[in-house]
A and B are shown apart, each in its own frame.
Chain A
């Protein structure tokens, strides 16, 4: 049999909506994860030991278990305790907590790499701790860690395909629906693969703009 792309054109608008959903789910979870990571990395670098222990336990737990299992727990185990999260909420919370743990590790590396001279200068100028983090450490972290953060964001964008299991109608979910109806697997999943490539480009462009506007990072997308 031959491939009939004409038979699946009808699903394209639906797929594009799914691609946008993947983008915003990953974007939201990544942004929230960045903030969690920033605070946790600060806690690990400057915090007292009980705080460090709590943060370490959080990071270990979320980096040592698969994200799928974490979201599965949020979606299917929490209702047993009386907390019923909607599919999107479960996926967003799960991805945010997971991203927070990984980004803590990444951002901590950035904290450690800030030259002491810059910190001394900030202290001399009378910066508060928060000002030091925002004006001195954060730009340094983002600039030094741009490649690591960027690739984590892309991994997260692609990782949103996991959300299909929990009833979130993102790109993979919509592809599975179309596949079950039409049986045109090769046509559907090759189109979806191209859409994911486009998504990755859009995701890295967005991150590039963000880095450029907020911290004047000079990086290339292509």
Chain B
């Protein structure tokens, strides 16, 4: 560990011992979230999400292509994330590195496995032609918790997407068929305290990380633990509860922002 993070860690740990965080939040409090949709007119759907200083843009493009042979009647989705050098002095241009790939895969899994996109309805001609959905995520400003920001931006972009049928001469455009999405909330643990929505400072000193995605019924839809630290069973239960509570609020905000 270099000098600056060591000093920072000291500071954050001292604050944590007296129940505080550097930006004055409670341990179970998210930063302010802003969701704005329809920001890129060339995209089928788009959204910019700010969580505190973290800023992410997601854009949806659709194309007509061949389905996979094992799912001949289902649409195809693909997710890519770019940690563009705009967002942080440490990001470099070029092919995606490990962290960009992990981010894209976690977001992809959250959307794919929870079956938010009704891929059965995206078949044009079995075995021949289906809709292909590209989710592209651009990190514009990096201040921690990219997982939640990227997932939320992708969902908001999907929920405002129109299938561009007219452009492909397949009839009128129509809204992308979707089901209720799960909302993901990430927590980080350092010095024995667990905080939700870690800022970059907190992320840098975190020993363990846990992402929990919950649906509208408060059921758990996806989880991912990261880093080499550990959680106790009690801590996990607490994280789940906090994630359900925050997920509820975020879902409400998401629906409000897309006018639903």
Co-complex (A, B): no
Using a CB–CB distance below 8 Å, which chain B residues touch chain A?
A: none
Using a CB–CB distance below 8 Å, which chain A residues touch chain B?
A: none
